[in-house]
Amino acid sequence: MSPVTVESGEPLGYARAINAALMEEMRRDEKVWMLGQDVGKMGGVFGVTRGAFDEFGPGRVRDTTLNETFIVGAAVGAALTGTIPVAELQFADFMMIAGDEVFHKMAKWRYMHGGKLSVPMVLRLPTGVIGGVGAEHSQSLEALGMHFPGLKVVLPATPADAKGLLKTAIRDPNPVLYFEHKGMYRMKGPVPDDPDFLVPFGEAAIRREGGQMTVVATGLMVPRALEAAERLAADGIELEVIDPRTLVPLDMETIIASVEKTGRALVVHEAVRTAGPGAEIAARIQEAAFFALDAPVWRLGALDTPIPQSPDLEQLVIPSTDDIEAAARELLAL
Amino acid sequence: MTELDLYREVARIRALELLLNRYISEHGFGGFWHPGLGQEGIQAGAVAALRNDDYLFYAHRGLGYALAKGMSPVTLLADLFGKTGGSVGGKGGGTVHFVDPERGVLGQGGTVGSSFVLGAGAGISAQMLGTDRVVAIFFGDGSSARGTWHEAALTASVWKLPLVWVCENNGWAISVPIGEQSPTENIADRAAAYGVPGVIVDGQDTLAVQAAMTEAVARARAGEGPTLIEAKTLRVRGHFEGDKQSYREDVVDGLDVPRDPLKLLREQVPAEDADRLEVEAKAEAEAALEEVLAMPTGDASVITEGVWV
Ligand SMILES: Cc1ncc(C[n+]2csc(CCOP(=O)(O)OP(=O)(O)O)c2C)c(N)n1
Ligand SMILES: [Mg+2]
């Protein structure tokens, strides 16, 4: 049997899949609620929470003002006291405004209080480039979540995972940073409608099987890596594409098993290359599989610059399908 | 709470404050101890107006808040000295954390002003779950500058969250006096901007604090929203025990508390009862310290516990 993750169900957009997860979980458990800017009647600036206000009312779908420290901090306080908040920041970049709340309160309140309290909450973070929203609305900051023990970090790359991982996040007793790629909101794919469809944390998905190189890709880089793999396959080169799906916990077992088979590894992400998630993944690959490697582990990431405002320029900053294809060919030739 | 019950609480906190002062001056302390000497009346008076199941987000100045909420002095001192018998399993120390979910003691952040936003969230849970629990959030005059207060106060007021903000205005944020921190004399004046009552009370008058708090708690419980109480007091000791206070001209010499809340409250209770309660408080504090000093500190196994569920 092929280990490739097969998704089934009716086709649904990535944003609609997130919406379905929210609605299902709010129906399942009345302790689940949401807060954020414009999440109510408007349904969020990206329309992801549409319909929730009408179904659940203003007590469970709360529009806040422009107060990010409140959105995250109040979610932490509510999580400590018996409800399960799903907080939305309009852009993942705004995490920095609530830095103390995200990286200290969310991550450490349980630890600082002897494990006697828990923080069951989800922080939804629209991430990545979307075309012209510039340096403070386009960043991929998921590596920050990996740097603060206490947080879990999720990064879905398909509509099915967007749904299944969010449902798991809401049911997880830990605080979860849920990075949803805003450039993928309209992407369609099969999504199960089973209300108990959950995608477990810490289990990477093998998106494509191949024996010549392991490509570890996250978020928007997953479809790009798959496209690059398709092109190489035309030349008889088979890439194995692995999507970790969650960065904390991180399924290194699947990645290492693949690298031991292929002997080569390329890690691709949209975050800046320096100290991006790929730095950690590449380091762990060489620690665990050094003697299986036929070539150095390579990383592809965004250039070490802020994201420019122009939609054309921003695409030049992050890895393209061409970049992935070229890097893979070069790495294979080493 | 009756005058006598309040006297007992203030005396218990005072006994611990004095004992800690003595112990730390002789043996030092691994971290920062922010003494609450002289502010016991605010802590005991305000907490006295809470129910056992009301929530408490305390501030960093002393351990009176948590003691008044019913936590044992043994637990609190164990947390202070990072011992295993504490509530946070040896992870306290420094800016001391205590926790007691059964009594609604929900902790504090290492960054002051953390509790404005978290406390508001606890109020949302209470509102959503239909309990009539109230959340008390303590903070200092310096911490009132935090943006978290502004961000929380706006929405807490609009949503009529069941909160009481208790500001212990002791005139100092470390080395900077209140006059250099605030354009208005009273922190309570800011309440108007948030559409909530701002009440000023004499922080040395424990009964007055209790009365103001009782009214604010009733208002919160009735769904009428938050109240800001500003208790005027004085920082008797340095910011932390050992602070030389070179920046300060009105340094209090020794341990004599100007307008001592304990002495003021004593006028309201029979002298023999007061004497007895003081003896009991002292004995309780000493026994607790002895018990705690004999406890082990945590071994390395606790370090990795409690990061995730
Ligand atoms: C966000 C943050 N900034 C600074 C500090 C360092 N700090 C600890 S206590 C304190 C002064 C607080 O003053 P106030 O709120 O008046 O309380 P007091 O110490 O007078 O009781 C400061 C600046 C901190 N812990 N957190
Ligand atoms: Mg002060």
* pLDDT over threshold 80, residue A1: no
Same domain, A26 and A170: yes
The answer to whether B88 and B122 are in contact (CB under 8 A) is no
Q: Which of A222-231, B242-251, B266-275 has the lowest mean pLDDT?
A: B242-251
The string of pLDDT tens digits covering residues A74-125 is: 999 999 999 999 999 999 999 999 999 999 999 999 999 999 999 999 999 9
Q: Which of A141, A162, A191 is the last residue of a domain?
A: A191
As a whole number of Å, the CA-based R_g of chain A is 19
Range of the domain at A44: 10-191
> What integer pLDDT is reported at residue B252 of this predicted model?
87
Partners of A87 in the beta sheet?
A35, A123
Q: How confident is the model at residue B92 (pLDDT cuts 50, 70, 90)?
A: low
Asked if B128 lies within 8 A of A100 by C-beta distance, the reply is no
Same domain, A119 and A92: yes
> What integer pLDDT is reported at residue A134 of this predicted model?
95
* pLDDT over threshold 70, residue B93: no
Asked if B120 lies within 8 A of A101 by C-beta distance, the reply is no
Distance CA A129, CA A302 (A): 11
Overall domain count for chain A: 2
SS3 B40: helix
Ligand 1 atom 24, closest CA? B111
How many Å lie between the alpha carbon of B299 and the closest alpha carbon of chain A?
14
Share of chain B residues as helix, strand and coil, in percent rounded to the nearest 5: 45, 10, 45
Q: Considering every ligand atom, which ligand is closest to the CA of B232?
A: 2
Name which of A59, A76, A172 is nearest B121 (Cβ-Cβ).
A76
* pLDDT over threshold 80, residue B223: yes
Average the pLDDT over A45-49 and give the result: 97
State in Å: Cα B171 to ligand 2 middle: 5
Same domain, A171 and A247: no
* Alpha-carbon dihedral A206, A211, A216, A219, rounded to 10 degrees: -50
**CB proximity A175 to B under 8 Å:** no
Residue B59 lies in a domain: yes
> What is the percent of chain B where pLDDT is above 70?
99
Average per-residue pLDDT in chain B?
A: 95
Residue B89: its chain A contacts at CB < 8 A? 114-115
Asked if B120 lies within 8 A of A111 by C-beta distance, the reply is no
Same domain, A180 and A215: no
SS3 A5: coil
Q: Domain of B245: which CATH number?
A: 3.40.50.970
Name which of A75, A114, A152 is nearest B121 (Cβ-Cβ).
A75
Same domain, A292 and A166: no
Residue B63 lies in a domain: yes
**CA geometry: angle at A251 spanning A248 and A256, to 5°?**
140
* pLDDT over threshold 70, residue A168: yes
Atom of ligand 1 nearest to the CA of B174: 11
Q: Domain of A230: which CATH number?
A: 3.40.50.920
Residue B99: its chain A contacts at CB < 8 A? 113-114, 116-117
Q: Domain of A154: which CATH number?
A: 3.40.50.970
> What is the percent of chain B where pLDDT is above 90?
90
What stretch of H or E contains B42? helix B40-48
Distance CA B165, CA B59 (A): 11
The answer to whether A217 and A187 are in contact (CB under 8 A) is no
**CB proximity B123 to A under 8 Å:** yes
Residue B244 lies in a domain: yes
Residue B309 lies in a domain: no
Lookup: tokens for B147 = 């943006």
Residue B96 lies in a domain: yes
Residue B152 lies in a domain: yes
SS3 A56: helix
Lookup: tokens for A9 = 């169900």
State in Å: Cα A44 to ligand 1 middle: 36
**CA geometry: angle at B83 spanning B82 and B89, to 5°?**
85
Average the pLDDT over B64-79 and give the result: 97
**CB proximity A77 to B under 8 Å:** yes
Residue A3 lies in a domain: no
Residue B249 lies in a domain: yes
Same domain, A179 and A151: yes
Asked if B152 lies within 8 A of A73 by C-beta distance, the reply is yes
Overall domain count for chain B: 1
Average the pLDDT over B143-155 and give the result: 98
Instruction: Scan for tokens 């949302």, then name that residue.
Output: B124
Average the pLDDT over A201-214 and give the result: 98
Same domain, A112 and A64: yes
The string of pLDDT tens digits covering residues B22-57 is: 999 999 888 889 999 999 999 999 999 999 999 999
For the whole model, what pTM was predicted? 0.98
Range of the domain at B44: 3-304
DSSP string, A256-325: HHHHHHHS-EEEEEEEESTTSHHHHHHHHHHHHHGGG-SS--EEEEE-SSPPPSSHHHHHHHSPPHHHHH
> What integer pLDDT is reported at residue A239 of this predicted model?
98
> What integer pLDDT is reported at residue B30 of this predicted model?
80
Name which of A65, A68, A104 is nearest B154 (Cβ-Cβ).
A65
> Which residue blocks in chain A are alpha helix, DSSP H?
14-28, 52-56, 68-80, 99, 107-112, 142-146, 159-171, 221-233, 252-262, 277-289, 311-317, 321-333
Residue B151: its chain A contacts at CB < 8 A? 67-70, 73
The answer to whether B284 and B21 are in contact (CB under 8 A) is no
* Chain A, chain B: beta-carbon pairs less than 8 Å apart: 153
Residue A198 lies in a domain: no
> What integer pLDDT is reported at residue A201 of this predicted model?
98
The string of pLDDT tens digits covering residues B274-283 is: 999 999 999 9
The answer to whether A127 and A182 are in contact (CB under 8 A) is yes
Distance CA B249, CA B290 (A): 37
The string of pLDDT tens digits covering residues B101-139 is: 999 999 999 999 999 999 999 999 999 999 999 999 999
The answer to whether B136 and A123 are in contact (CB under 8 A) is no
Q: How confident is the model at residue A314 (pLDDT cuts 50, 70, 90)?
A: very high
User: Strands B176-177 and B172-173, how do they pair?
Assistant: antiparallel
Name which of A80, A104, A174 is nearest B122 (Cβ-Cβ).
A80
Average the pLDDT over A242-271 and give the result: 98
**CB proximity B91 to A under 8 Å:** yes
Residue A104 lies in a domain: yes
Same domain, A166 and A262: no
Instruction: Scan for tokens 């002298």, then name that residue.
Output: B271
Mutate which: B53, B88, B125, B301, vs A, most A CBs within 10 A? B125
Q: Which residues of A222-244 are buried (b: 16+ CB within 10 A; e: fewer)?
A: bbbbbbbbebbeeeebebbbbbb
Does the CB atom of residue B172 touch ligand 1 within 6 A?
A: yes
Same domain, A184 and A215: no
CA B221 to chain CA mean position, Å: 21
Distance CA B108, CA B95 (A): 9
Residues of A with catalytic roles: 137
Which candidate, B58, B40, B61, B44, places its Cα nearest to that of B240? Answer: B61
> What integer pLDDT is reported at residue B291 of this predicted model?
97
* pLDDT over threshold 80, residue B94: no
